């Protein structure tokens, strides 16, 4: 399981960065989304995957008796997902506005601000 996840995360990172390096604005957003998913999965993987042992202390005990799944990474992922959701929706509106105003979706042609003013 870990190996499969590790490969998947690698592919997601590679694909995300490749998409960000493309010139199209839409691909840029897709790249950011894919990269974000890769990062979330990485947190999940690095929190160690433990199967079928929820972090619940039995009623007759004071401490954990066996190995338990760490709940913290899941809280982190949840936070990160919500944040990236907000950012991505902002990004989509931004590229729509930018496309309407600049009238191109090619990043190489967005060079008006490089000219001397």
Partner 1 sequence: MTQQIVLYPLLLQLLLSIVLMFCWRKISWQRVISIVGGVINIAVSAWLFYHIWENGTQIVQAGNWKAPFGIIFVGDTLSATLVLLTALSGVAVSTFSSASVVAARLKFGYFPIFHFLLLGLNGAFLTGDIFNLYVWFEIIIISSFVLITLGGEKAQLEGAVKYFTLNILASMIFLTAIAVLYGLTGSLNMADLSMKVAAIENRGLVEITAILFLIAFGIKAAVFPLYFWLPDSYHTPPSAVSAIFGGLLTKVGVYALIRVFTLIFVGDLFLQNILLAMAVLTLISGGLGALVQNNLRKVFSYLIICHIGYMIAGLGLFTKLAISGTIFYLIHDIIVKTNLFMVSGLAYRIRGTNSMRALGGLYAEYPKISLLIAIPLFSLVGIPPLSGFWPKLSLISAGFTAERWWVVGAIVFASLITLIIIAKVWAAIVWKDKTDFPKRLNFRYFAKLKLVRKTQMIAPVVFLSLVSLYIGFGAEHIQQVSVRVANELMDNQQYIDAVYNNNPKLNR
- Interface with partner 1, residue 80, by CB under 8 A: yes
- Interface with partner 1, residue 50, by CB under 8 A: no
Per-residue mark of binding to partner 1, 19-38 (x: CB under 8 A) = -x----x--x---x--xx--
- Maximum Cα interatomic distance, the chain, rounded to a whole number of Å: 74
DSSP 7: H
Q: How far is the CB of 61 from partner 1 (least distance, A)?
A: 19
φ, ψ dihedrals at 23, nearest 5°? -90, -15
Nearer to partner 1, 15 or 70 (CB): 70
- Interface with partner 1, residue 3, by CB under 8 A: no
- What is the torsion angle, in degrees rounded to the nearest 10, for the CA atoms of residue 104, residue 107, residue 109 and residue 114? 130
């Amino acid at each position: 399981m870990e190996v499969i996840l590790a490969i998947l995360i690698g592919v997601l990172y590679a694909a995300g960065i490749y998409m960000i390096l493309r010139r199209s604005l839409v691909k840029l957003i897709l790249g950011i989304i894919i990269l974000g998913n890769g990062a979330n999965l990485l947190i999940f993987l690095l929190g160690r995957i433990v199967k079928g042992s929820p972090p619940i202390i039995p009623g007759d005990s004071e401490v954990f008796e066996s190995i338990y799944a760490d709940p913290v990474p899941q809280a982190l992922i949840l936070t990160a997902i919500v944040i990236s959701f907000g950012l991505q929706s902002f990004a989509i509106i931004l590229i729509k506005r930018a496309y309407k105003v600049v009238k191109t979706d090619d990043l190489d042609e967005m060079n008006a601000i490089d000219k001397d003013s």
